[in-house]
Amino acid sequence: MEDFWVQYGDEMLPVIGDFPRKGSYLPSFMLVDDQKRDAALESFAHTPKLIVTLLSVDEDEHAGILLLRETRRFLDSWPHLKLIVITVDSPSSLARARHEHGLPNIALLSTLRGRDFHKRYGVLITEFPLSGYTSPSIILADAANVVHYSERLANTRDFFDFDAIEALLQEGEQQAIEAEREAEESRQQQLAEREKGTERLLEKAKLIQDQLDKDGNPGR
């Protein structure tokens, strides 16, 4: 558990907990969505995901709705990623934010029923005036919940390093294309080998048949 501080205005506030790092697995969680339903990490299984923690959707400049808008704008180019936004806001506040700001296809989750989330994800602010809030962070994880990128903002007025995230996504996309190409080449090679094997069997069968015909017609 390393020391981390986030700047909020003129205040430097300590943030504690075990922040997930590249190569680690996402810790499990049980939160509540904007419809007051339980929402576990397992609810998003088999889906690549971008987990974002914010101070509050009621915040504007300080790691709030403005940061969420920028994140959504970035995800326009990566629609296969599931955006999961987590704050200390109540489910009712999240529902209001969804209605007021138009936030379709986003999982809005509250830590109301999952206070252990703050420490397990390394985003617990521990001093006034934001004691108990979730510090702004972003985590990119694949469908198996393996972390590929994680970042905590050092200042609540900052934005995430979307260039770094995009570079990783592009690299992963290229690797997937290359893997598919290699798989297709392997399939074609196997098909060609099967065809050659079939040709050899047919040739062998023809030789056997010719020999049988010859043996059955000695005068030929």
The pLDDT, as a whole number, for residue 187 is 80
Cis peptide before 129 (omega within 30 of 0): yes
- Assess whether pLDDT exceeds 90 at residue 183: no
Q: Is 22 within 8 Å of 149 (Cβ atoms)?
A: yes
For the segment 17-64, what is each residue's pLDDT rounded down to a tens digit?
Answer: 999 999 999 999 999 999 999 999 999 999 999 999 999 998 887 889
The pLDDT, as a whole number, for residue 18 is 96
- Assess whether pLDDT exceeds 90 at residue 182: no
- Assess whether pLDDT exceeds 70 at residue 218: no
| Beta-sheet strands, E only, within 104-173 | 106-110, 124-125, 137-141, 147-152
The pLDDT, as a whole number, for residue 108 is 98
The pLDDT, as a whole number, for residue 1 is 60
C-alpha–C-alpha distance, residues 37 and 194, integer Å:
54
In the block, residue with structure tokens 């690797």: 175
DSSP-based three-state secondary structure for 123: coil
C-alpha–C-alpha distance, residues 61 and 42, integer Å:
32
The pLDDT, as a whole number, for residue 62 is 87
Q: What is the CA radius of gyration of the chain?
A: 28
Q: Which residue has the higher pLDDT, 68 or 217?
A: 68
C-alpha–C-alpha distance, residues 87 and 108, integer Å:
8
Kindly report the pTM of this predicted structure.
Answer: 0.82
CB count in 10 Å sphere of residue 164? 12
For the segment 185-201, what is each residue's pLDDT rounded down to a tens digit?
Answer: 778 788 878 888 888 88
The pLDDT, as a whole number, for residue 219 is 55
DSSP-based three-state secondary structure for 155: strand
**Percent of the chain at pLDDT exceeding 70:** 96
With cut-offs at 50, 70 and 90, classify the pLDDT of residue 147.
Answer: very high
Q: What is the mean pLDDT of the chain?
A: 91
**In this structure, which long-range contacts are made by residues 33-38, counting pairs with CB atoms below 8 Å and at least 24 apart in sequence?**
33/91, 33/94, 33/107, 33/108, 33/109, 33/110, 34/91, 34/92, 34/94, 34/95, 34/97, 34/98, 34/108, 34/109, 34/110, 35/91, 35/95, 36/91, 38/113
